[in-house]
Amino acid sequence: MQYATFMLNEYMFGIPIFLVQEFSKPLPVSSIIGHDERVAGLLNIRGKISVVIDLERCLGLKSDDTVLTENPKNHEKRMIILETQDTLTTEAKKLGVEGYSEPLVLLVDSIRKVITIETQNYYPPPAHIKEKYVDGVVKHNNVLLTILSINSLTKDLSREWGSQNITEN
Partner 1 sequence: MDTELLTGFSEDSLECLEGIEQELLALEEGRNSDETINKIFRVMHSIKGSSGFFGLQAIEKISHHGEELLSKMRDKAVPLDTTNIDVLLNTVDQVKLMFGDSNWGEGFDNGALLDALDQCIHQQYGETNDAIVNTHFDKEINSSARLAQESHHNLIIENLPEQIKIPDTKQQPIAVETNKTLSAPKNIKNEPSTIRISVNVLDQLLELIGEVVLGRNQLVSQLEGDRTFNGLSTSITKLHRHVIQTRMQSIGSVLEKFKRIVRDLSKQLGKEIKLHIEGGDIELDRTILEAFSDPLTHLVRNACDHGIELPSERSKNGKNPCGNLYLRTYHQSGQIIIEVEDDGKGIDPVKIKESAIKKQVLSEKEANSLTDKELVELVFHPGFSTKEETTSISGRGVGMDVVKTNFEKLGCVFDVSSKSGAGTLFQARMPLTQAIVDSSVISGLIISLGKHKLAIPQLAVNEMIRLVPQERSKSINNIKGRDILTLRDTLIPIIRLEDTLNTPRIYIDPITGEVCPERRQSLTDRRKNTLITAFETGQRIIADRRIKSEIFIILQYKQDHFCIPVHKVVGTEEIVVKKVPKLIKYRKVFDGTTILGNGEIVTILNINGIVEEAALDFQQARSHKNLQQIANQVEPDETQKLVVFENAENEFFAIPVQLISQVQKVMVSDLKQAGSREFIEMHGESQEVIRPENKVNLSPIKDESSKRIVIIPNIEDPIGMLGRKVIDTIEIDEEKISGRAQEEGVVGRLFYKDKLISILDIFSMLGILQKDVSSIEVDPTIEKSRILLVEDMLFFRHLIQSYFESFGFRNITVARNGKEALDILNQMSGGFDLIVSDVEMPEMNGYEFVSMVKSDPNYKNLPVLALTGLAGQENIKKGLEAGFDAYEVKIDKFNVIQQVIKLLTAQILG
CB under 8 A: which stretch of 8-16, 32-40, 91-99, 109-117 binds partner 1? Answer: 32-40
Does position 42 interact with partner 1 (CB under 8 A)? The reply is yes
Rounded CA separation 8/107 (Å): 9
Taking the complex as a whole, the smallest distance from the CB of residue 92 to partner 1 amounts, in Å, to: 21
Identity of the amino acid at 60: G
> 150: how many CB neighbours lie within 10 A of its CB?
21
By CB under 8 A, name the one of 101, 119, 120, 142 that touches partner 1: 101
By CB under 8 A, name the one of 32, 114, 143, 144 that touches partner 1: 32
Give the residue from 167, 96, 101 showing the smallest Cα distance to 136: 96
Taking the complex as a whole, the smallest distance from the CB of residue 75 to partner 1 amounts, in Å, to: 19
Helix (H) or strand (E) holding 91: helix 90-94
Taking the complex as a whole, the smallest distance from the CB of residue 82 to partner 1 amounts, in Å, to: 12
Side-by-side strand order, sheet with 134-140: 110-116, 2-8, 11-16, 143-148, 134-140, 122-123
Dmax (CA) for the chain in angstroms is: 48
By CB under 8 A, name the one of 49, 95, 143, 144 that touches partner 1: 49
Give the residue with the Cβ less far from partner 1, 24 or 31.
Answer: 31
Characterize the bridge pairing of strands 2-8 and 11-16.
antiparallel
Does position 51 interact with partner 1 (CB under 8 A)? The reply is yes
Does position 149 interact with partner 1 (CB under 8 A)? The reply is no
- Residue 22, strand partner residues: 81
Give the residue with the Cβ less far from partner 1, 69 or 121.
Answer: 69
List contacts with partner 1 (CB under 8 A).
30-36, 39, 41-44, 47, 49-51, 53, 69, 101-104, 154, 157-158, 161, 164-166, 168-169
